[in-house]
Amino acid sequence: MEIASLGSGSRGNGTLVRHGDTCLLIDCGFRYSEAVKRLSLRGIDPEALSAVFITHEHSDHASGVKALAERHQIPVYATRGTWIEIGGRTSSEHHELTGSVQVQALQVQPVTVPHDARQPVQFVIESPTHRFGLLSDLGSLSKTVIERFQQLDGLSLEFNHDVDMLAEGPYPQFLKQRVGGDFGHLSNAQAATLLKHIASSRLQTVVACHLSEQNNAEALVEAALDQALDHLPAERMIATQAFGFDWMTLG
């Protein structure tokens, strides 16, 4: 199983998960030309995408989905609430997500998360041999999330902000409350606590994703990762807005 990112943060997200000829794109928050450019940096032609899954309707995740899917006739999966919020279904093949879905060699399990969207989910994706979790855009820890994101080989987890930087930073008060609230985004400390609950010796790689460009610093994220993973050997990476991260293999 191989994972890559087209970019990660409040200005656009997209994650690739590949096993053999099956290649899924989770979210596309980039306009069409930018998405195609970023896909080509990862060696992917849009025609090669098996399906696109949408986590929720926020523009940094969904704004580029329709153009990409309709232009290349790619099947799209989203919850009913997400379809409503993005203004209806695509003219390409489209599906309402109500539970696990098998797309060729990959099984995709949606997991409900606490976030201020209509019906947001994140995903656990399984190949015949490996399990990868994508978990961003959640404001707090939930029992469901902790239960469903166990025994992963790879995890991309939101480390959105440092609590003090958010409090002292440039955001207006309403936005500070939204981001820091239970249906906003995870702080470094919350992400570290969550990671302690779900990390196991099986975990090969943890990617910190969806970092705030104003309210976080890579050094703080690295410290939080080290603290949470403690003695576990998992590789630690950071996904950036500009570049995401290049293909990594879960072996």
Among 60, 126, 158, 162, binds Zn ion (CB under 5 A): 60
C-alpha–C-alpha distance, residues 137 and 149, integer Å: 15
| Residues β-bridged to residue 158 | 209
Stretch that binds Zn ion, among 38-46, 53-61, 187-195, 237-245 (CB under 5 A): 53-61
Least distance in Å: CB of 170 to Zn ion?
Answer: 19
Among 27, 126, 137, 162, binds Zn ion (CB under 5 A): 137
Among 58, 130, 131, 148, binds Zn ion (CB under 5 A): 58
Q: Which is nearer to Zn ion, 60 or 85 (CB)?
A: 60
Least distance in Å: CB of 37 to Zn ion?
Answer: 20
Q: Are 240 and 35 in contact (CB under 8 A)?
A: no
CA 8 vs CA 151, 207, 241: distances in Å: 24, 11, 5
C-alpha–C-alpha distance, residues 153 and 115, integer Å: 25
Least distance in Å: CB of 159 to Zn ion?
Answer: 13
Least distance in Å: CB of 36 to Zn ion?
Answer: 21
C-alpha–C-alpha distance, residues 228 and 169, integer Å: 25
Q: Which is nearer to Zn ion, 58 or 161 (CB)?
A: 58
Q: Which is nearer to Zn ion, 9 or 203 (CB)?
A: 9
**Contacting residues for 195 by C-beta, under 8 A, at least 6 apart:** 155, 157, 206, 225, 228, 229
Binding mask 176-205 for Zn ion (x = CB under 5 A): ------------------------------
CA 193 vs CA 6, 65, 218: distances in Å: 27, 32, 18
Stretch that binds Zn ion, among 33-41, 135-143, 175-183, 188-196 (CB under 5 A): 135-143
- DSSP 8-state secondary structure symbol assigned to residue 163: H
The answer to whether 57 contacts Zn ion (rule: CB under 5 A) is no
Binding mask 9-48 for Zn ion (x = CB under 5 A): ----------------------------------------
Least distance in Å: CB of 185 to Zn ion?
Answer: 8
Counted residue by residue, the chain has a size of 251
C-alpha–C-alpha distance, residues 223 and 195, integer Å: 13
Least distance in Å: CB of 58 to Zn ion?
Answer: 4
Q: Which is nearer to Zn ion, 2 or 60 (CB)?
A: 60
Ramachandran bin of 15, using left for φ above 0, alpha for ψ from -120 to 50, beta for the remaining angles: beta
Q: Are 54 and 65 in contact (CB under 8 A)?
A: yes
How many residues bind Zn ion, per CB under 5 A?
3
Q: Using CB under 5 A as the criterion, which residues of the chain lie in contact with Zn ion when the complex forms?
A: 58, 60, 137
